[in-house]
Structure 1
């Protein structure tokens, strides 16, 4: 009996030793949860890491992910830059929403109206598919509609919209929400916190790669 117990104890120690030496497996796999961008595109300068979100106000998955992004932004490292880029798919309502995002950003009110636009579309079921619908909502929220119209026609908004379309092509963005980490990796299609964990994993991966290059 004692001999059998001794064998079991020795077996347990052997198992623990082998497990300790085994390489840890990542929960995220390339070509499954994320994809390499070829060729690599410019990311953040220096030691910073840039995370870009491609989104569309009318996308239900983007809307569901908003609270998770908000929580992630509160805890993200200072060295991580977060940038939103609206989708520029070839549809009038998508383009309207994208230019509205840039117009409100130019006016300095995008942050306070972002949630209102999402809620109007997904909670109140008003898709804001026309300029008239969008202007009515913005007027109700206290936005100067004339200033909004001027911003929509501005050179800055036209330039940013074209740039958004170009970047979506470079990163092969075919649906939203989609995230690009430092111009090297794209991830999408995951739900809630799992998507944010994948982003954190890719941020750590980029940081490790930058450190390796310096050695």
Structure 2
């Protein structure tokens, strides 16, 4: 009986062991020299002004949909892209956070990306963002109240703090960048398929 139990446990471990053998530190992922998060999570660092981030949206959605139970997906908008002022980029972060507060993060994210990259409307003014959210169910009054509220201001500052931390560590040199458990950066240029990416995410979450 004990021998059968040991064999069963071994068989359960085999798929994970085989998978783990396919992923190597320094190849598919890089270890960031900090303590990992207590909550299993995948953070995407992105910019609405980044065309690659726009094209990567289906990939990001797939990662979120395929996460193991208990893991969370976090979008962290950055404000360091050249050609646009940091404040203008932070305004987009604020708009995203307001939308997230009202359960419309995905909808507003899609609208902002399409406005910038499809309709060629750059949304450089706060009034443009206010109008976009108003059209999509978040009133101008609500928008004004929310972006002046401490929770939204603090959340946007937290986004900046995280981007600055990982930039200093050399882990955030461009977008999109995916970091798992605050400790493992995925090297996207080594990944050949969505399936491989999802497997790597699950592997890193379990480390």
* TM-score, scaled relative to structure 1: 0.72
Q: How does 1:184-195 map to 2 (within 5 A)?
A: 184-190=183-189, 194=193
Partner of 1:87: 78
Aligned pair count?
182
Partner of 2:147: 152
Is the Cα contact below 8 Å between 2:98 and 2:152 reproduced in 1? yes
- Alignment match of 1:59 (pick from 43, 50, 54): 50
Q: Distance in 1 between matches of 2:21 and 2:92?
A: 37
The answer to whether the 8 A contact 1:56-1:176 is kept is: yes
Larger Rg: 1
Q: Conserved in 1, the CA contact under 8 Å of 2:64 and 2:72?
A: no
How far off is 1:27 after superposition? 5.9
- For 2:142 and 2:20, the matched residues in 1 are separated by 53
Q: Tell me, in whole angstroms, the C-alpha distance in 2 between the residues paired with 1:58 and 1:96.
A: 12
- The residue aligned with 2:63 is 72
How many Å separate the matches in 1 of 2:191 and 2:59?
Answer: 6
From 109, 121, 134, the counterpart of 1:126: 121
Tell me if 1:100 matches 2:113: no
The structure-2 alpha-carbon separation of the partners of 1:91 and 1:24, relative to structure 1 and needing over 3 Å to count, comes to: closer
**Structural mapping, 1:40-55, within 5 Å:** 40-44=35-39, 49-55=40-46
Question: Could you say which residue in structure 2 is the equivalent of 1:197?
Answer: 196
Partners of 1:112 and 1:205 in 2: CA distance: 29
Q: CA, structure 1 residues 91+109, in 2 after alignment: closer, same or farther (shift >3 Å)?
A: same
Paired with 1:139 and 1:170, the residues of 2 have a C-alpha distance of 34
Deviations 1:74-114 (A, max 9, x none): 33322321111111326122111111111222233223322
Distance apart, 1:32 and its partner CA: 4.6
CA-based RMSD of the aligned residues comes to: 2.7
State the SS of the aligned residue for 1:179: strand
Q: Partners in 2 of 1:26 and 1:110 — Cα distance?
A: 37
Contact 1:41–1:184 at 8 Å: present in 2 too? yes
- Compared CA separation, residues 195 and 105, structure 1 to 2 (3 A): same
Q: Name the SS of the counterpart of 1:171 in structure 2.
A: helix
In the other structure, the counterpart of 2:135 is: 140
- Provide structure 1 residue ranges, at least 5 long, that are not aligned to the other structure: 1-22, 210-215
Relative to structure 1, the CA distance from residue 34 to residue 183 in structure 2 (aligned partners, 3 Å threshold; closer, same or farther) is same
Distance 2:72 2:175 in 1: 19
TM-score, length of structure 2 as denominator length: 0.75
